[in-house]
Amino acid sequence: MYGMVNQAMHQMVSEVHGEDAWNRIRLGAGCEVERFLRMDSYPDEMTYRLIEAAVEELKIPAAQLLQAFGEYWVGFAHAAGYADFFRACDSYAAFIRQLDAMHARLELAFPDFKPPQFACNIESPDQIEVVYRSHRVGLAPFVHGLLTGLGEPFGVTATVVHLASQPPESGGATERFLVTLASQ
Ligand code: HEM
């Protein structure tokens, strides 16, 4: 995955647990990269190994770590120069609807990009069903955290329930979520 993802994980872990903890995680994962370059592509394996090593070092279940990482990502992307992507939409639902278009625009900057896909059904003004598809597996808790964290820039509280995992026919993952929105 692009370095931006590993960089965000480095920043989140070191903010809470310190740089020494991150270095133990990095070395535990057999990762020699001290500073990830945001626009460089690294093997997915490296990201998965960093997650595994963080779970071991911090004694946090993987799902909890990934969920926290998803919530963190929203603020990280804001601060990393992508605030306009959020400002361009006037509601949570409008943002979700254009997520694929947004990731597609990012492909110009990240040519090796393998973005996820999102489909959504607006069930009612405050309920959205979101279907996430990826050729990667194991990232449902990350998406759960993202969908929760996304409430913040739109001034709503998003309560997320993971409804189901659908094993797709050829690898990857398909996950369904229900998001309930309430004004903050
Ligand atoms: C403007 C903000 C955002 C930026 C700059 C951004 C950028 C990226 C980048 C660089 C990757 C790595 C992909 C790769 O290397 O192949 C990625 C992956 C991902 N993004 Fe975004 N993203 C943003 C917002 C979001 C939001 C709001 C969501 C969901 C609500 C989301 C969902 C994901 C997921 C789930 C992945 C993991 C890859 C996968 O599932 O296969 N992103 N994004």
pLDDT digit string, tens, across residues 57-88: 999 999 999 999 999 999 999 999 999 999 99
Q: How many angstroms is it from 15 CA to the middle of ligand 1? A: 21
Whether residue 117 is predicted with pLDDT greater than 90 in this model: the reply is yes
Place of tokens 């990240």: 110
Q: How many angstroms is it from 103 CA to the middle of ligand 1? A: 7
Q: How many angstroms is it from 61 CA to the middle of ligand 1? A: 22
Instruction: Give residue ranges with CB within 6 A of ligand 1.
Output: 1-2, 4-5, 77, 82, 85, 99, 103, 106, 110, 113-116, 134, 136, 139, 142-143, 146-147, 150
- Average pLDDT, integer, range 153-164: 97
Amino acid at 159: T
CB 125 within 8 A of CB 148: no
Query: What's the whole-model pTM score?
Result: 0.96
Other Cβ atoms less than 10 A from the Cβ of 26: the count is 22
> Is the domain defined by 66-183 classed in CATH 3.40.50.620?
no
- Average pLDDT, integer, range 132-154: 97
